[in-house]
Amino acid sequence: MEKIGKEKSAVEKGAPEKSAVEVATFGAGCFWGVEAAFRQVKGVVSTQVGYAGGHKSNATYKEVCSGNTGHAEAVEVTFDPARVSYQDLLDVFWENHDPTTRNRQGPDVGEQYRSAIFYRTPAQEAAAKASKSRLDASGRFRRPIVTQIVPVGPFYRAEEYHQQYLEKRGLSSCHIE
């Protein structure tokens, strides 16, 4: 997997044809930093932040933050599998947050900050479960991984001011180091 410098986004200007792309969805804490991490990866065509895994239709940021929707802040990653694999994206996911903390990443606390892989296909489900098992067996973490691996269900795009939030403001990533 090839990454580029933190100052630039790898998101492609000349995107491949629609049929050549796949979509992956991840929750790993505050979606601003998670999105910034995925936008660094060559082969990522586009990203959008939003809400997944809950029961409230057309959820808003205010509603999600209330804790009453069941949604996680999530990033939908559209990628070209000829340039970056789903496994590569799983690696980015694991590297950019602490999957052993339930409903918390850094100073952000609440169900909306949970660690989750929202799969879209049986192949994504199998890859996510195998990846989690390998990471658990590696001994990298002293605590068990609490990441949910669940079907994506509806994804609700977040308000426009959340899209590419860090990039638009020239800020550095806010993910856990």
- Structure tokens, 157: 């795009």
- Structure tokens, 135: 């990471």
Bridge-based pairing of strands 148-151 and 115-119 is parallel
Q: Is 30 a catalytic residue?
A: yes
Give dist(CA 31, CA 158) in Å, integer: 10
Q: How many residues does the chain have?
A: 177
CA dihedral sign, ordered 130, 55, 67, 77: positive
Give dist(CA 135, CA 109) in Å, integer: 24
Annotated active-site residue in 30, 37, 89, 128: 30
CB 24 within 8 A of CB 121: no
Residues serving a catalytic function are 30
